[in-house]
Amino acid sequence: MSSVDLDGLQERVGHRFADPDRLQVALTHRSWAHENGGTDNERLEFLGDAVLQLCSTQALMARFPEAREGELSRLRSRIVSTKALAVVGRALQLGPALRLGVGEDQTGGRRRDRVLACATEAMLGAIYEEAGLPACREAVLRWLGPRIDALEAQPGKGWKDPRSRLQELTQAGGGDTPSYRVQRADGPAHDLVFTVDVCLGDDVLGHGEGRSKRAACRAAAEDALSRLESA
């Protein structure tokens, strides 16, 4: 990756790294480290996830001062889901910059939601290590601000759990209750990623991923709502 590419990436991210090695680690998938040695981005991802939870919570509390704890939790799950973070990763153009192993690269890793979401969290973790929490708050607002602004502030729609909203939508015309089916669980036992389909009868309405079955079901309901409401 050329220095020009790195300059462009840092401009999009909104932070110029004093330590280029830290940036490279944030962009290093475990498949690359396995094949070539060195440090992968999983520790930075772990750190970035915690920082993201804090910064996004603070942003939501400022944006929705009347929202209660449960409502804030549901709002946060919408803006920091795997799919949402993958959207951020694509906007930052992280995919082409990632260091991936040959197999991961050949099977579409640069476009995979999970890979891009993890890289986004790792980038935030790297910013925290170098510049601390204020820089991370700025980055989160820059990356997620439009998505936060787009959240509807009505409890009946914007704050309600997506599974409840989906059930109301499908039952409005006397239809069935959606069911959720776990398709697979990937990764090590301490960091499983669940993939869930939400179905209405034999029809698959949406798909979701999450680090718990509950989070994956919520993501699947969000996906189904997006599809149904845009149809």
Cβ contact 198:183 at 8 Å: no
Q: Number of C-alpha atoms within 13 angstroms, CB side, residue 63? A: 22
Q: What radius of gyration, in Å, describes the C-alpha atoms of the chain?
A: 18
Give the tokens for residue 52.
């993201």
Cβ contact 159:74 at 8 Å: yes
For the question of residue 121 being annotated catalytic, the response is yes
Distance CA 175, CA 177 (A): 7
Q: In terms of Cα–Cα distance, which of 87, 82, 116 is closest to 210?
A: 82
Phi, psi of 192 (to 5 degrees): -70, 145
The catalytic residue among 121, 197, 209, 223 is 121
The residue written with tokens 């799950």 in the block is 77
The catalytic residue among 42, 49, 71, 223 is 49
Cβ contact 84:78 at 8 Å: yes
Amino acid identity for residue 142 in this structure: R
For the question of residue 5 being annotated catalytic, the response is no
State the catalytic residues: 49, 121
